[in-house]
């Protein structure tokens, strides 16, 4: 939907989104649209997913954190989770763009409280619903760190999250193999949490999907096994030393 701040409706409508990210009118418009669809009998209030990319990914994270009772699941594609780290990652040659974003979003550089207020990363504890994250490792706009930090935070807190990283993608998925791969994973995710049918998932040939959360678990398991082996060796040496 075209929430306040959208282009194509004139300058006045565009600027109605200024400093309205996350907890302001831009997000309120999405919430109101959901309520309208429920009231009209179009949507089932217990089966609503929030799904988006880039700003839409941020809106997904904001929806799950700031209005956690509305959505039963979310899909975030290349969405920022911390507005300050998002802007800090902008390269110097994009300085005019960064200054423009500060005017649109608000002064997160000098107002730490405001940044924490609108950044979903600082409200992870409020998330009640499962999340699927898709990210490109070469994204020049929304760096991989934006996905990493919220995915690992949710994982550590025991909140259901799936995280798919494509090392050969940027801000969105350009390679057909990766598009097919992520769409198939998203279809399964939506069928699981919304109900309905899903085609059997078959990994697309040539897709580059990686799973940072699972890889970290494997590393931790290997480290734990290594430490157990060291402990067992020390114990054996102590026993032999006492003989």
**Residues known to be catalytic:** 54, 139, 171
- Whole-angstrom distance, CA of residue 126 vs CA of residue 112: 20
Please spell the DSSP secondary structure of 166-179, one letter per residue: ETT-BSB--SHHHH
- Whole-angstrom distance, CA of residue 18 vs CA of residue 35: 23
Alpha-carbon separation of residue 105 from 65, 81, 88, 98, 173 (angstroms): 18, 14, 14, 10, 26
Beta strands 161-166 and 73-77 are unpaired
What's phi and psi for 50, nearest 5 deg? -110, 125
Beta pairing partners, 74:
50, 131
């Amino acid at each position: 939907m075209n929430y306040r701040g959208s282009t194509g409706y004139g300058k006045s409508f565009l600027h109605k989104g200024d400093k309205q990210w996350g907890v302001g009118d831009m997000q309120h418009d999405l919430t109101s649209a959901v309520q309208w669809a429920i009231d009209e009998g179009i949507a089932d209030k217990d089966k609503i997913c929030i799904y988006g990319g880039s700003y839409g990914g941020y809106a997904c994270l904001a929806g799950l954190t700031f209005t956690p009772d509305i959505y039963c699941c979310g899909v975030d594609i290349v969405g920022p989770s911390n507005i300050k780290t998002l802007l800090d990652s902008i390269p110097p040659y994009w300085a005019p763009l960064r200054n423009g974003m500060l005017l649109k979003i608000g002064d997160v550089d000098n107002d730490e409280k405001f940044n924490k207020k609108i950044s979903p990363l600082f409200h992870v504890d409020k998330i009640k619903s499962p999340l699927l994250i898709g990210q490109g490792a070469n994204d020049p706009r929304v760096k991989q760190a934006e996905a990493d930090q919220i995915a690992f935070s949710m994982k550590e807190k025991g909140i259901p999250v799936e995280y798919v990283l494509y090392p050969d993608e940027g801000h969105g998925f350009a390679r057909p193999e990766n598009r097919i791969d992520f769409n198939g994973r998203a279809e399964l995710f939506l069928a699981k949490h919304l109900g309905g049918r899903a085609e059997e998932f078959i990994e697309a040939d040539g897709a580059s999907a990686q799973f940072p959360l699972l890889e970290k678990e494997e590393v931790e398991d290997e480290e734990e096994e290594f430490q157990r082996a060291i402990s067992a060796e020390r114990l054996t040496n102590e026993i032999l030393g006492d003989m």
